[in-house]
Amino acid sequence: MATLWRSALLVLVALLLAALGFLAWQRFWPAQAAPGWCYAVAHADIAKASALAWQGDALLTAEELKDGKGRLLRIDAQGRRSVLSAGLYKPDGLVPYQEGFAYSQEGGTHPIRWFDATGSRDLFIGINAQGLWAEGKRLYAVEDRKGEGRLLRYDAADGSLTVLRDHLDEAESFTRCPDGSAFYTEKSRGLVRQLSDDGRDPPALSDLREPSFLLCDHRGLWISEDSTHRARLLLWDRQSAPRAILTFLRAPQALLPRGDGYLLAEGGRDRIIALDPR
């Protein structure tokens, strides 16, 4: 009997060690780049790094912290950091807009705000507002809400706010491609949908792992997966299956063009990485 108990205990210990090893592997295994690409850490120690935007040669970014601890930061070309705004609730979307910048806050009911060097003002109210996209005087926003999310369009010409879509499930990003086609995500459903004139918005991609941020450029449609472990940065040429450019990421967020490469906010590792073609 003692031998049986000893064997059972050894099996239990082995299973526990295997589980701990698996969790450690998920947490600490470094990000991997696909052939033809390489990455390096550009900026470290940015808590829950999320949004990215250029202000000349300076980089604007957000720390997506809740309970009024979020901040907007400016990093100049020499790497010096300054705080643009503090006391925010999960700042997430950040885009150049109307000779300034607009940003959103995902942590509750808050205004989408506009700011420039002289001041700031509220534009409209969003609920768990996340991704932003600007086109001239129009500003698009999506809400990360379970079954109640909306795709909104604000027009600075007359201050109007239009609900383009509602009853979305954790929508996180909206983007438009160079050919005029537009896409948005529904994270909990694992979908990227294409905006259509008839309002049906068919899925363009499905079975993704928590698709979040979208960016469309000459290479195709980029999708970051907002998963805590083993997340991917995908590139879809809209002809074949999406290709994983980076794997083993932790909660990747916004992707920002930089020359022929990109900057990627990786919130789960509190950093911004530079991604470049080899």
Per-residue pLDDT tens over the stretch 27-39: 569 999 999 999 9
Whole-angstrom distance, CA of residue 85 vs CA of residue 83: 6
* Residue 22's pLDDT band (cuts 50, 70, 90): very low
Mean pLDDT of the chain: 93
Query: For a pLDDT cut of 70, what percent of the chain falls above it?
Result: 90
Whole-angstrom distance, CA of residue 276 vs CA of residue 7: 52
Three-class HEC string of 98-142: CCEEEEEECCCEEEEEEEECCEEEEEEEEECEEEEEEECCEEEEE
Whole-angstrom distance, CA of residue 63 vs CA of residue 202: 33
The tens digit of pLDDT for each residue in 39-65 reads: 999 999 999 999 999 999 999 999 999
Residue 18 has pLDDT above 60, yes or no: no
Structure tokens, 147:
């079954």
Return the sign of the alpha-carbon dihedral for residues 76, 235, 244, 250: positive
Contacts of 177 (CB under 8 A, 6+ apart): 183, 216, 221
Residue 88 has pLDDT above 60, yes or no: yes
Burial class (CB in 10 A: 0-12, 13-18, 19+), 229: middle
